[in-house]
A = this chain, B = another copy of it.
Amino acid sequence: MRILGVDPGLNRTGYGVIETDRPEMIRLLEAGVIRTSPEDGISRRVSDIYTHLSDVIEEFRPNVLVLEKLYSHYKHPTTSILMGHARGVVCLAAGMGGVRLESYAATRIKKAVTGNGRAGKHQVQRMVKSMLGLNKAPEPFDVSDALAIAVSYVYIEGVKGEKVKRLKG
C-alpha cells in the first residue's frame, strides 16, 4: 500500500510518499517541500499548495493521506489560522482526490517512530532515515516530519490489517 504523509504550513508544506507491504520493507517513493512566498497573496499561496499536492496524489494514488491531529503549537492565534489555511487545502486535496484521510496526535506519531512521544526533530529525522534505508537524512524537517507521519501509519495501523511491532532503532 501507498501512504502519503503531509506536514502542512503556509510557508512550507512537507510531504512524503512511501510504499510498503510489510514494516521491514518501507520504500520511499517521493518526498519534497512545497514552498510559497509571503509576497504572493493568500489565494495564490493556497492554490500552489493545493495544485502541487493534487499532482502528487494523482501521480502516486496513495491509499491514505495522513496528518497530525489538530493541535496548535503557536501562541499567536493568527499563526494558527494561517496554518489552518494550509491544512484546509490539504484536506480538500484528499477529499477531491478520493483519498482517505487519517490523523494521529503528534505524540503518538513520535512514539510510533522513535519509541518516545516527546522525541526531538533530529531524533525523528534519524529514525526516518534508518527506517527508509536512506543514505542521507531527509531534509528539511518539514520533509522528515511528513515522512515520520507516513511511517507512523504503518506501525499504528499495520499493513494488510495487521498491527506490527516497532523495529528497534
In contact, A84 and B88 (Cβ under 8 angstroms): yes
Chain B residues whose CB sits within 8 angstroms of the CB of A86 once the complex forms: 88
CB contact between A77 and one of B77, B87, B91 (< 8 Å): that residue: B77
Total copies of the chain = 2
In contact, A77 and B72 (Cβ under 8 angstroms): yes
Chain B residue at smallest Cβ distance from A67: B42
Interface size class of A (residues with CB under 8 A): 20 to 34
Secondary structure class of chain A's binding surface, majority of residues: helix
List A residues at the B interface (Cβ < 8 Å): 41-44, 46-47, 50, 70-72, 74, 77-78, 80-89, 91-92, 94-96, 101
CA distance A91 to B49 in the complex (A): 12
